Amino acid sequence: MIQYRQLIVTIVISFFITLILGPIVIPILHRLKVGQSIRDEGPKSHMTKSGTPTMGGLIMIAAILITAITSGLVNKDLFVVLFATLSFGLIGFIDDFIKVVLKRNLGLKAYQKLLGQIVIAVIIAFYQSSISVSGTKILIPFMNQYWDLGYFYVPYIAFVVVATANSVNLTDGLDGLAAGVTLIVSSFFSLVAMNWGYSSIAVFCGALTGACLGFLRFNAHPAKVFMGDTGSMALGGAVATIAILMNLTLLIPIVGGIYFAEALSVIIQVVSFKLTGKRVFRMSPLHHHYELKGWKETKVVAVFWSITLILCIVGLFGLSQ
């Protein structure tokens, strides 16, 4: 069983690998001219970010992969969560490549991304239902009881994975926002995994935490690089799979409440505009709404980080009942 010391060492190793890779990868991205294009309808303060290199998620993915594989705690669960991270990262990478290298603004078509995400999710669902001692059961927070989904388990897991990955993708709209929120969420899951005896998952969470922390060195305001869909999709796939392997999917809307709020704001905005012609928010996702209300970007990020920390504490209470 992994100890606190080993978890901290894992975080530190991933952190320093990210710090080392940043100055190597970012200049390469500059030379390749893979700069982020900014939407004209977005907050005007974001126009200065145009041209900032994207696809920086490659830095985090590399740090996570190196740290996890060399941890000495390699097993099937670790391979599954790495598979999810790399697969979703690949979908994001292809999308980024089409947009910033081939200069096709829309990237992958929606059905192409959705199909790929569902296939990956179904593979994860079948693995967990056949390997886990809990089978098709999921833990209900605050009740300390398991709910057996039976035949509904696979479609449920597919929904969780796709929803989480795309929610994290929507959260990645401000400097340091998605990386910081995921840093806190992965720290939460690392503590749970360690205390519950999921050693390989705890190591992966530690690697993820360290990578997010190191990436903030380059992604915090003012960002020198963006993670792009390469990073945000990889983070979303990782968070979802971590929760699935520990049967804690119902905790994602709690500890990942910011992800949930960002996605919900987009859904509400689209439905409201189509039905009534009116917008509920000044702009969606939610972080842009607060920017247009006059909040500085750094304030929005700090508040959303703080909310995530509080929600993770709530999540810990939900598991202690």
Binding residues for Mg(2+): 169, 229
Nearest to 258 by CA among 164, 187, 161, 159: 164
Evaluate whether 114 touches 162 at the Cβ level (below 8 Å): yes
Angle of CA points 3, 245, 161, to nearest 5°: 130
Nearest to 226 by CA among 216, 235, 237, 234: 216
Where b means 16+ CB within 10 Å and e means fewer, 248-284 reads: bbbbbbbbbbbbbbbbbbbeebeeeeeeeeeeebebb
Helix or strand (DSSP H, E) at 145: strand 145-148
Nearest to 259 by CA among 204, 196, 182: 182
Left if phi > 0, otherwise alpha if psi is -120 to 50, otherwise beta: which for 198? beta
Residues in binding site? 169, 229
Where b means 16+ CB within 10 Å and e means fewer, 302-319 reads: eebbeebbebbeebeebb
In degrees and rounded to multiples of 5, residue 163 shows phi and psi of -65, -45
Evaluate whether 285 touches 173 at the Cβ level (below 8 Å): yes
Report the distance separating Cα 181 and Cα 189, nearest Å.
13
Where b means 16+ CB within 10 Å and e means fewer, 46-68 reads: beebeebbbbbbbbbbbbbbbbb
Q: 98: which DSSP letter?
A: I
